[in-house]
Structure 1
Amino acid sequence: MTAPRRIVALADTDSYVKWAAALLGTLDAGWDASILVVETPLVVSDPQLDAALSGSDLPSDRVSRVGWDALTPRLSTLGADVVVLAGRGPLVRVLAREVATLSPRPVIVAGLPGISIPATRKAIAYRAQADLFVLHSHRECRDFAALSVERGMPQRFALATLPFARGGAELSQTPKGTDLIFAPQAKVPADRPDRMRIARLLVRTADADPSRRVVVKLRAERGEQQTHAERDAYPDLLASLGPLPPNLVTSTASMHRALDRAEGLVTVSSTAAIEAIARGIPVIALDTFGVAPELINEVMADAGLLSGEQDVVARRFRHPDAAWLDDNYFHDAADDDWTTCTAELVAERRGGTLEPKSPLARRGGALRDAWERKSVLGPLDRTFAGAVAMVIGMPLRFAVRVLQRLRDLVMVPRTAAR
């Protein structure tokens, strides 16, 4: 009898723990799946962890926390065939180096937890040491594959239905709730005036119909961390507007539970829109700030989900164009190949033929490695090398940024002259 393939995900922040739990929860009995929540400065709190696991099929007793110093020994004890690196790019790069030191080296899988259009060079570069890069739509796979060839960074990509998009059979269902759910993002939009404009829009929407709630679905309580640092959080912005309508509320419940009471969802470009669509809940992707790569909303525009503030106030939600679905997150599950690709890599590993991948070549050697580890672990990295790298690296980093700004200032007049 063949031993189950042992797969362990390493994750730290709310969105990546949620993604890892949902992804591993789809595996069949031929896999022994678990998650190690790695202690970093952005690690999930216990309430965030509970919310992240809600709605996944991964039992909570398959999830445990681990400190950085104990991580490599723990992985050695587990004897994982596969390690899924579920984290921000800088952390994945550091984790990949650690995992690659294990003997025998596990298959390294990496991925992104949500909408990943446009494809970016950084996303590939950070995950260069992974044997497999999991994406969630035919379009993403095409775009990332083309970019990896263009930039000379060979990578193998695989398709997996976005865990929150499982539920295509429900696409035609009519929502039974009455809440307007607003899904904020830490980095989109980035500027305070734009975020304040959304806050005022939420107040106007609540005032327009006091009988129905407007729910701001927060990712964290005050003091908790998120995948991306958030400035100008919506609770603070709303508080600055004075007394609020009683039907405008905030919630830190899981998105899965929030959508149980939803009439529709409003966002700029959050992956929560995909989760809503999968449950037949219509969406408004706010077009107030235009369409741009930095807004991560090009894919929303292609879906026909963009709409303005008046439609938000009137709750005129939209369903995506049917032609958009198959190429964008709602493909046939039979197209998924990430488990097949991973199983093939495990067979190579067990057969001793899996060739390890190297990280991208870069300057700095061991000092650069120490700097990168210190950058993602902060005070949790207590190594002497990390302290030295920080002392040397911070002034160098500042100098490089100053030179880049000076170069940009010089280039602007030249560009204008052309």
Structure 2
Amino acid sequence: MTGATGRPPRIVAIADTDSYVKWAAALLGAEGERADAALLVLETPLVVSDAQLASALAGSGLARDRVERIAHDRLAGRLADLRPDAVVLGARGPLVRVLAREIAELQPRPVLVTGLPGISIPATRKAVVYRLQCDLFVVHSRREVRDFGALSARTGYTHRYALATLPFARGAAGAAGAAAAGTRAGATDLVFATQAKVPADREDRLRIARLLVAAAQADPSRRVVVKLRAAAGEHQTHVERDGYPELLATLGALPPNLVTSTAPMARALASAEGLVTVSSTAAIEAIAGGVPVIALDMFGVSAGLINETLADADLLAGESDVIARRFRHPDPEWLDENYFHPPAADDWTQVLARLIARRADGALPPRAPFARRGGALRDAWERRIALGRGDRSASGAVAYAIGMPARAAVRLANRARRALRRGVDAGTGAVASATAGRPEEAGDLVRGEADRRLRAGR
């Protein structure tokens, strides 16, 4: 891969939150001298702390002197100075939409690359729509290429998808034979990978907390490590309610071998006998290192739990299995389609090289964003919501002053409509009868609800 002058291409990543900073740093760090790589950590309400940044960079291959923090109002100028051939947008969907719109105005326009930092099955419409203005969408398994491609074909929201090994699955030569590896010497910890949004219900999260206590009590000689995504006061990509330290504190005196940790996941896995999670991408990192996994089956399997692909790997197990530490290795037939394809199958750098060459020839057409109503005021509103106080523009302040009361009114009206609809449905069963036997119309209702929720973004 070469840049416009025969040199290694200059690729600048922009990221803000813990998972996206880790993903972007590892994605570019793996390129080594094949790319002139840099990472700009954008100041947003959820930006990583210094400790989170250090953890994200550990083992990424990207040197600390290639990373700088930057405010949004300096971003365009900094990119103009760097003159990147490509920009990787590693951020939540709403922020990617804002940044892609702005960077598309640069001359010459860099190639815009985006992606998701972990397990992305099921493919979701909002993940695609928010990133429509990007030239390349990086995914991490053959199944993701297939499923996102099928989603684009169904919806008409076309993307150019390319495959890259998930950074945390690299060097996984032992994954296929991990089941035969036996117990890992000196590794005795049960590591639980927490998630901010899964499961969402407080009672479900309390159930997991109680399970962790029971697992620690079952064998006081071995630790149960609750691997947290952030220390107190730090932010995560997704807002966490009902965090595990708080939940565990409600359960009274805890076993001394039940501990919490904010160390990098790689360090936690180094002493792990096995990993427990609902659906964290840490499961992929564990498999890559030959660490067996339990994906909790306590809440079923669903798109909302993001655990369908782990279920296909035959990693589901229950509470008694956790307490007995009956960890599992994935079905070998699952590996190739799901994150453990041969490195030679990766094509994202080849596709990017072609796009950079087209850009150099002036033959890279711009991509249109998702069409929305509202014009410049809508743009300013979206920028203010994505950046928070990081947006210091007058237009953002005006849009916020107008938009917040308007949004409150719309939400109030929607709640009233839903309450009225529930009352009607309870009396007549109208919605159930209207969609019974007509799955295509029920699907239209689901897609309409998804449209209304696009703002939440992934």
Question: TM-score category by the smaller chain?
Answer: over 0.9
Residue deviations 1:261-307, cap 9 Å, x none? Answer: 00000000000000000000000000101111110001111110000
**5 Å matches for 1:10-409?**
10-171=14-175, 172=178, 173-174=181-182, 175-176=184-185, 177-409=187-419
Contact persistence 1:179–1:214 (CA under 8 A): yes
Deviation readout 1:209-266 (Å, 9 max, x if unpaired): 0000000111111011110000000001111111111100001100011111000000
What is residue 5 of structure 1 aligned with on the other side?
A: 9
Hey, what does 1:416 align to over in structure 2?
A: 432
SS at match of 1:293: coil
Shift of 1:408: 4.1
Equivalent AA in structure 1 for residue 344 of structure 2: A
CA distance in structure 2 between the partners assigned to 1:299 and 1:27 by the alignment: 28
Shift of 1:417: 3.9
State the shift of 1:401 in Å.
Answer: 3.0
SS of 2:144 mapped into structure 1: helix
Identity of aligned residues (%): 67
Q: Is the 8 A contact 2:32 2:61 kept in 1?
A: no
Structure 1 residue 405: Cα displacement: 3.8
* Cα distance per residue 1:85-111 (max 9 Å; x no partner): 000001111111121121100000000
RMSD: 1.3
The answer (yes or no) to whether the contact 1:39–1:68 under 8 Å persists in 2 is: yes
Task: Work out the CA distance in 2 between the residues paired with 1:32 and 1:360.
Answer: 31
Amino acid at match of 2:248: L
Q: Deviations over 1:148-196 (max 9, x none)?
A: 1211111100000101111221222443310011000000000110101
For 1:4-30, what per-residue CA distance to the aligned partner results, in whole angstroms no more than 9, with x for missing partners?
Answer: 200000000010010011111111423
Mapped to 2, the partners of 1:417 and 1:279 lie a distance apart of 51
- 3-state SS in 2 of match to 1:109: strand
- Alpha-carbon distance between aligned partners in 2 of 1:384 and 1:63, rounded to the nearest angstrom: 29
Unpaired runs of at least 5, structure 2: 435-458
SS in 2 for 1:113: coil
8 A Cα contact 2:25 2:39, kept in partner: yes
- Whether the aligned pair in 2 keeps the contact of 1:34 and 1:62 (CA below 8 Å) is yes
Aligned to 2:444: none
TM-score (norm 1): 0.98
Q: Name the SS of the counterpart of 1:294 in structure 2.
A: coil
Structure 2 distance, partners of 1:296, 1:397, is: 29
How far apart, in 2, do the equivalents of 1:170 and 1:57 lie?
Answer: 21
Cα deviation, 1:297-318, whole Å, max 9, x if unaligned, reads 0111111000000000000000
Give unpaired runs (5+ residues) of structure 1.
none
User: Does the aligned pair in 2 maintain the 1:370–1:385 contact within 8 Å?
Assistant: yes
Separation in 1, partners of 2:64, 2:415: 48
Partners of 1:54 and 1:256 within 8 A in 2: no
Q: What secondary structure, in the 3-state scheme, does the structure 2 residue paired with 1:228 have?
A: coil
SS in 2 for 1:42: coil
Measured after TM superposition, the shift of residue 407 of structure 1 is 4.4
Per-residue deviation, residues 90-145 of structure 1 (Å, max 9, x unmatched):
11111111211211000000000000000000000000000000000011111111
Give distance in 2, aligned partners of 1:131 and 1:250: 41
Cα distance in structure 1, aligned partners of 2:152 and 2:417: 28
Q: Distance in 1 between matches of 2:297 and 2:405?
A: 41
Give the conservation status (yes or no) of the 8 Å contact 2:296–2:318.
yes
1:136–1:159 contact (8 Å) kept in structure 2: yes
AA partner of residue 4 (structure 1): P
Residues 360-398 of structure 1 show CA distances to partners (whole Å, capped at 9, x for unaligned) of 111011001010011011122222211221122123323
